[in-house]
Chains A and B, each alone.
Chain A
Amino acid sequence: MTSTFSTPGDFEKKPTSGRERDVDRDDLEDLLGVLSAGTERPPEQYMCDGVSPIMAARPSSVSELAEILLVANQRNLAVMPQGGRTALTLGRPLTHYDLALDTTALNRVLDYAPEDLTITVEAGITLKLLQESLAEQGQYLPIDPPPGDQVTIGGLLATARSGAWRGHLPAARDLILGATVASPDGSLTRSGGRVVKNVSGYDMHRMHTGALGTLGVIVEASFKLSPLPAAVSSFAIVCSSLSRAGTVACEIWDRNLATRAITILDSKTSAILDCGDVATVLVEFAASESVVVRSEETLREILRDYDMSAEHIGNDIWAQIRSLTHRDGIDTVIRAGVPASEVSGFIDHMEIIDGPSWGHVAAGSVWSCPNVNAQTLLGLRVVAERLGGFLQLESGSKSLREVVDPFGVSDAGLTDSLKSQFDPRSTLNPGKWKAVST
């Protein structure tokens, strides 16, 4: 069997890695030799962009993972590390995909020191499982739950994801204290440490944050934790217009209440979430009981001046927001970064497109599931950039990701230089950053 891609003609475009080869399963004998029993998995379970890898492995130890990666590198295989598989279509389609490297068996808590508010885990652990073990001690990793229960720590670091809490609370990139990473050369390297403050050497764990698994496979990570808030309470504020929503949302943000999220929904999103059919501002408070009560009082005072009111709603609204991007039929997902004061304006701008948009004010991040072509998308990017921001294509069809650069960053070639230092044979997620056709 030869490595095949579902759409014929994919290879008409020259892979940027310059690695043109056909790999046969028979070629993988030495790889099979390093796998322990049960590590090999059915490749068809690891499809991405319609492509199945030749082989899939789910190593049960860090050293096994490192060994597999080394052999794959020596054999010139293209490896896609993966955890929860919720964000594999972030980035360009891979030019090759031979081996799926599943991290989910690396799911142990290695060192939890509640009194130091620190934890070290293997990277395949899901955020959900991690939070459950921390909750027993009244602690948590203050990162809001991602769209799926299966999201792993490695995946959320590699994608540098953040959600509605961002801006009120730190993100994974701020909470990470150190990491261990497996490199294509088989080495396991560490940076940072397990203490809450540390400036020894380069923070390579930050480099791997957002690197989408193109520079190494994160196998362990240490984090700073927080005490769990005792009370959480959510409110919906129905607004007559998006611009009014923006004004009110910024005013609430400005008051330093116990807010953990302030999110503006456009009318389409409001409708999907059964919040009415006009723009809505959602607010979440999280703190001790009395502080949440006081925050609510102040919220109501603010709104009185605007002749508006806040309705108490269930906290599960946030889970519904997170699953907005993962509804049936959703193909394209974008995230723009704009100034907080421009969030409602940018959402308003998005009204021209078909699909819901919503934005987290403190982070200045606007999410949308638009039904758009490449040209419209690039136009939206220009708008975000004029505001001093950016626009990332979080997910999209293979064909869209072939023509649109998902990231839109210029970095004087630093990403390429790092790639050639850390993965000179382009073993890990080849083509993720680069246009296939340029």
Chain B
Amino acid sequence: MKEHTRSFNGFIHSLIESLPYGIMVLDHDDRIQELNRNFSFIFNINIADVKGKNYKEVIESKFVQVFSNLIEDTKVKGFVMDRQISVPILGGVEITIALSSSALKDKDNNFYGLTIICREMTATRELERMRELDKLKSDFISSVSHDLKTPLTSIIGYTDILMQLAKEKSLSEESDYLKIIMQEAMRFARMIDDIINMAKIESGKLQLKKELVSLKEIVEEVIKIVIVQAEKFKFIVNFDNSIPLLLIDKAQMKRVFLNLVSNAIKYSPQGGEIRIDGYTKGDNVYVDVIDHGIGMSEEALSHMFEKFYRVESDATKGITGTGLGLAITKGIVEAHGGTIVVRSKLGEGSTFSVIFPLTMKKSI
């Protein structure tokens, strides 16, 4: 029997020691019955012979008021949940601690002590703060990007005027340079749009205006846009009739396929065939964008959809971009409830598959 009690107490003691919380147990006269190592770490207490002492003799004076309030409230209400306090630890760093306490009562409802549990909140708080910072960052990026558009309006506008004047005066060299300025300014404008879109996606501000749309039509419109600057390419669009109209944000989805088709063109410097196949398989609609360009290594494949990631190799030398296209593409596809996957082989080409569940054809 005695043996039994000892081993049970030992079990409780080791349980209290191994919990990831600070724990202190007091009797009805506020004397310490248990105080685990975590508690002593948090409040900087020397754990040797604290047992039986009043907690006020043990705890640093600046915390005494906090604990006495906690204990009084616990005696009145029976328990206290998550009362937050800041505790300085080494190096001036503060951590946030949530104190919870509950009264111990016997079967006749007589108070005979209480337990106090301290939980470290810093990790949770840190996460909240990081979220706040992230939102601030997105708002900041978005507002700066908007501001950049005003000077860009002047640059593009006045370059346009100069181009017209140069043409009237038949200044061919000047015209050539102005054309380059114009192209680069337009590229800058697209980069700003990419950054704004990325910020919107990251802050969850991308609002989709869904309507029933034909994916095939979207792809055909995209081809119409790119074909004027892609003489070296042959485009083949092949869609099964089984594909239903889907609930999609048309403008955003156009951006998705514009990105994929532009990449297919950009990363196939030799030109060639670009196929876009649409079909249904199982419960999903697939649209594959297939090129026979430079392809990607395993390493590149694992990073492709990360923002700002770009492959740097001999094959990609001289090809410009922001590395945001695919991150945006993925964000838009996922916001629609779809997924995007890629298969590729270095030197042989790439296939990007955009996959939507067939359930997207009806509103839920």
Chain A partners chain B: no
Which residues of A are at the interface with B, using a C-beta cutoff of 8 A? none
